[in-house]
Amino acid sequence: MADKHNMVKAQLARLDTMDGSALAAKFEELYGFKPCDTTPRHLRRRLAFRIQEILLGGIAEADMAALERIAASDPLANFTVPKDDRRSLKMAGVQLRRVWKGTEYVVTVLGGGEFEYNGARYNSLSRIAREITGGHWNGKLFFGVK
């Protein structure tokens, strides 16, 4: 097992020496499709995960089954807005709701690309998602409208 860990360390160290185009090529090699337009930092993170998954193994089948059972019993786990309802992001007054870590967050669409959350105006759902989570999220994905 120590040998595999050394291989992982060597592969991860190699990622730090690669530029954006080399990282994109490695991503395509390991995932089987081209990455979206993203930063080298993000590509390194995705590649580091994939390398560890390949060399050390992914999530166990029993654990995956347990996670799927949990998700199946949670009505918000797989919530998406039907394609026809995505136009609601342009309709003033529509409310987007998301439960995050046990707390429900509500965003109101103001129209014209603006949103209201917690008494403040935002021109990006991603900024609101970052405000809520402290991390970088695609706002439409976070609120289930993508």
For the chain, the domain total comes to 2
Average pLDDT over residues 33-52: 90
39 shares a domain with 87: no
Give a yes or no: residue 76 inside a domain.
no
87 shares a domain with 45: no
92 shares a domain with 52: no
Nearest-angstrom CA–CA distance, 12 and 83 = 39
Q: For residue 113, what pLDDT is reported?
A: 83
Give a yes or no: residue 11 inside a domain.
yes
Percentage, residues of the chain above pLDDT 90: 38
96 shares a domain with 133: yes
pTM score above 0.75 = no
For 6, the domain range is: 2-58
Q: Of 145, 144, 88, 128, which is closest to residue 111 (Cα–Cα)?
A: 88
- Higher-confidence residue: 64 or 42? 42
